[in-house]
Structure 1
Amino acid sequence: MAAHGQGRLVMLAAGGTGGHLFPAQALAEELVGRGFRIHLMTDERVRDYGKSFPAEKVHIVPSATLSLSDPLRLPGRLWRLYSGYRLSKQLIRSNEAVAVAGFGGYPSLPPLMAAAHLGVPSLVHEQNSVLGRANKLLSTRVTKVATSFENVRLIPPEATGKVVLTGNPVRAVVKAVAAAAYPALDPAGPIQLLVFGGSQGARYFSDMMPPVVAALPAEVQKRLVITQQCREEDLPRVKEAYARAGVQADLSPFFMDMPKRMAGSHLVIARSGASTIAELGVVGRPAILVPLPHALDNDQLRNAESFERAGAGWLKPQSGIETTGFAAFLAELLSRPERLKEAAAAALRHGRPDAARALADTLQSILVR
């Protein structure tokens, strides 16, 4: 879309986790390139994930998760949401925002409700294949609902006419390695295995992967080079376990260059959060996906099913993983480089590298000229 931002302000609202902030950052990068100014409305967790967010200002907005399971805390949570709504109205007015875009999580609820009541153009973006609870509440009130998957579940009937499929935007650091050539997997050469699980999944992989690696055939072990995200407190025991198996391993709680490491891998083992699925698709890497069990609305399971249906990876429910069986599956997979290469190509077809552009176009389409 040719229209330029001309210094107008767009406010982005997102819960302060990577799954919400990363696509918001990708849209912000695109909009800044089009001449818009950006403010971010979020919660305190932004300190962990928002260091490179291209916003002029970051506003911490009070919010709370609504749950009927703890009725005694409900009045206090409603008051926090109302306080966030009042602050959001004040910020949108005083900064003369021309649009508000939300990326899910309850911190996005007060800003988007405020935008709706002020008549400011707005949209919500859903990263998963199931509409999240905050986005479901907002979907009938906003101007547009942008989705990352076709046939997203739980969209209210009265909101279906607002739906636009854009894909899930990825950050510039991911686009920098988009469609990177799949590394050659020589019969005697190193096998690059990347393992990560985000804040909620790293502990599980720290427990699961060392016994699996120990159960691999010796000829696979000696070729294996593992890059794995581990919690700080798990690093010593995981490092020791891999050393006992004679396996090279680079372990860290956080890798600043994760997209580059993904591009250098032959296979990824990960949870199936929306950002992970999007980045695997843009880079083009095969993955064994272990959805976070008991995730709200089974969103990670649905994400992984979509990736597997595309031929890009393999879904392995956590409850069904057993050390010997998983090791045998992994060894067999690593012995078939052509199968991995085909899955990498399928992942690339599943990805949407132009999602940030499509989402920015959608936002510009709702602006008052």
Structure 2
Amino acid sequence: MSAGAPLVLISAGGTGGHLFPAEALAHVLRRLGLRVVLVTDERVGALAEKFPADEVVSVPSATPSRRSLVGMIEAAGTLWRGVSASRALIRRLQPAAVVGFGGYPTVPPLVAAWMLGVPRVVHEQNGVVGRANKFLARRVSMIATGFPEVRGLPRGVRAQIVHTGNPVRQSVIEAAKTLYPAALKGAKLRLLVFGGSQGARVMSDVVPDAVAKLPPEYLRRLVITQQARDEDQTRVASTYRALEAQAEVRPFFTDLPQRIADSHLVVARSGASTVAELAAIGRPAILVPLPGALDQDQAANARTLADIGAALMLPQTDFTPERLAEELVMRFENPDLLTKAALAAKGAGRTDAAERLAAAVLGLAGIDPARLAARKQA
């Protein structure tokens, strides 16, 4: 990468939901000939090892909590130290633009960019704006959205909104080339279960018990791939062994996009990345939004697929072994339901969101893609 090439500073919280779309954008920017630096927090861990950045920088950040005045004051002090560190970083790197993907680690770099007059973008992946992005909305030049409608944005920012879709990783784009494996009556049904990058205990509590309630003729035809947390893996695997079910249970799947593509049905949480990947690949789902979330963002995400017949949204209170077993039996008996849902999901998918977001960022920063291409060829 040329040292004189324009640089984009990308900031994202240290979870997969924020980092995966940031990673997709970074790949496109680097392919176009730009340099990329990632600003994140200490949670990022191994997720940053393959992030396509010239440099990965951690700045102080904190999540303010209204439960404690002392905690709020401490968090504000930490965020201000992050802003100071980000100002120094921006002065050193001279980025053409700063792009944030949500989470409180994005606040210091975006506030610093606002103070220094650098073009700045936030990308909101969810159907309800997150607290950090809501705070930043009036301080950025552009708000890119993953869904056509995003609830909770402040008044007066509509002119800044650009719907780009949610960028998905290259592995998702490759998996999206896999045709839906037709679900046939009397044939195997491949079930994939996961709870997001951090896992979800409710999946380990409910799904094995639901499988145990299936009639024997359906149990024999079910092929299960399930993510379970380390502390739940032995319990889940033992239940399936006792049932003589065909099952693979692991704490994490590095090839999750292809496993989504190979499945007939997915049971999962409804984080923004999960919903975007299900749509891009085109697979039917039973989605269980994370309960108790302040913003109810996962419920809004799930509803986008439920409203078009691509998914069944089940509140966690309704996600019981009995209800899940009923839903599985229904799909065994009526496999056309799965095929129709897969087509609906595929129709809502967008695999070019990273390119659309990159084009918006370049336009805001005043960077000519043709001149970038000429620089790469020189």
TM-score of the aligned structures, taking structure 1 as reference length: 0.96
For structure 2, list consecutive stretches of 5 or more residues without a partner in the other structure.
Answer: 368-378
Retained in 2: the 8 A contact 1:103–1:124?
yes
Q: Distance in 2 between matches of 1:5 and 1:246?
A: 59
Give the superposition deviation at 1:325.
Answer: 2.8
Q: 1:265 aligns with which of 263, 266, 272?
A: 263
Q: Distance in 2 between matches of 1:172 and 1:211?
A: 35
Q: Which digits, 9 at most, give the CA deviation of each residue in 1:253-291, with x for residues without a partner?
A: 110100010000000000000000000011000000000
What is the correspondence of 1:82-121 to structure 2 with a 5 Å cutoff? 82-121=80-119
Q: Give 2:217's aligned amino acid.
A: E
- Equivalent position SS for 2:39: strand
Retained in 1: the 8 A contact 2:199–2:227?
no
Q: 1:352 aligns with which of 330, 350, 356?
A: 350
Change (3 A) 1:5 1:143: farther
Give the superposition deviation at 1:8.
Answer: 1.1
- The match for 1:255 is 253
Give the superposition deviation at 1:311.
Answer: 1.2
- The match for 1:154 is 152
Retained in 2: the 8 A contact 1:98–1:367?
yes
Q: Which digits, 9 at most, give the CA deviation of each residue in 1:201-251, with x for residues without a partner?
A: 521101111110000111110011111111111111111101111111111
- The match for 2:213 is 215
- Equivalent position SS for 1:213: helix
Retained in 2: the 8 A contact 1:14–1:42?
yes
What is the correspondence of 1:245-324 to structure 2 with a 5 Å cutoff? 245-324=243-322
- The match for 2:370 is none
- Equivalent position SS for 1:276: helix
Q: Give 1:10's aligned amino acid.
A: V
Q: 2:134 aligns with which of 128, 133, 136?
A: 136
Give the superposition deviation at 1:179.
Answer: 4.3
- The match for 2:364 is 366
Q: Distance in 2 between matches of 1:329 and 1:123?
A: 42
Q: Distance in 1 between matches of 2:48 and 2:294?
A: 24
Give the superposition deviation at 1:50.
Answer: 1.9
Retained in 1: the 8 A contact 2:167–2:351?
yes
Q: Which digits, 9 at most, give the CA deviation of each residue in 1:105-156, with x for residues without a partner?
A: 0000000000011110110000000011100111111110000112211111
Q: Distance in 1 between matches of 2:207 and 2:224?
A: 10
Deviates more, 1:155-164 or 1:258-267: 155-164
Retained in 2: the 8 A contact 1:180–1:284?
no
- Equivalent position SS for 2:273: helix
For structure 1, list consecutive stretches of 5 or more residues without a partner in the other structure.
Answer: none
TM-score of the aligned structures, taking structure 2 as reference length: 0.94
Q: Distance in 2 between matches of 1:68 and 1:296?
A: 12
Q: Could you list the runs of 4 or more consecutive aligned residues of structure 1 that deviate by over 6 angstroms after TM superposition? A: none
Structure 2 residue 62 is the aligned partner of structure 1 residue 64: yes
Give the superposition deviation at 1:346.
Answer: 0.5
Change (3 A) 1:16 1:188: same
Give the superposition deviation at 1:76.
Answer: 1.4
Q: Give 1:195's aligned amino acid.
A: V
**Amino-acid identity (%):** 49
Give the superposition deviation at 1:304.
Answer: 0.7
Q: Distance in 2 between matches of 1:72 and 1:256?
A: 40
Q: Give 2:147's aligned amino acid.
A: F
Give the superposition deviation at 1:200.
Answer: 5.0
- The match for 1:343 is 341
Q: Distance in 2 between matches of 1:6 and 1:342?
A: 50
Retained in 1: the 8 A contact 2:187–2:221?
yes
Deviates more, 1:322-331 or 1:93-102: 322-331
Q: Give 1:35's aligned amino acid.
A: G
Q: CA RMSD in A?
A: 1.5
Retained in 2: the 8 A contact 1:262–1:283?
yes
- The match for 1:234 is 232
Give the superposition deviation at 1:190.
Answer: 2.0
Retained in 2: the 8 A contact 1:124–1:145?
yes
Q: Distance in 2 between matches of 1:151 and 1:184?
A: 32
Q: 1:35 aligns with which of 33, 36, 44?
A: 33
Q: Which digits, 9 at most, give the CA deviation of each residue in 1:276-326, with x for residues without a partner?
A: 000001100000000010123100001111110011110111112232232
Deviates more, 1:281-290 or 1:170-179: 170-179
- Equivalent position SS for 1:38: strand
Q: Give 1:365's aligned amino acid.
A: G
What is the correspondence of 1:326-341 to structure 2 with a 5 Å cutoff? 326-341=324-339
- Equivalent position SS for 1:140: helix
- Equivalent position SS for 1:311: coil
Retained in 2: the 8 A contact 1:5–1:36?
no
Give the superposition deviation at 1:102.
Answer: 0.1
Deviates more, 1:43-52 or 1:345-354: 43-52
- Equivalent position SS for 2:192: strand
Give the superposition deviation at 1:334.
Answer: 2.7
Aligned residues: 366
Q: Which digits, 9 at most, give the CA deviation of each residue in 1:309-348, with x for residues without a partner?
A: 0111101111122322321121112322211111101001
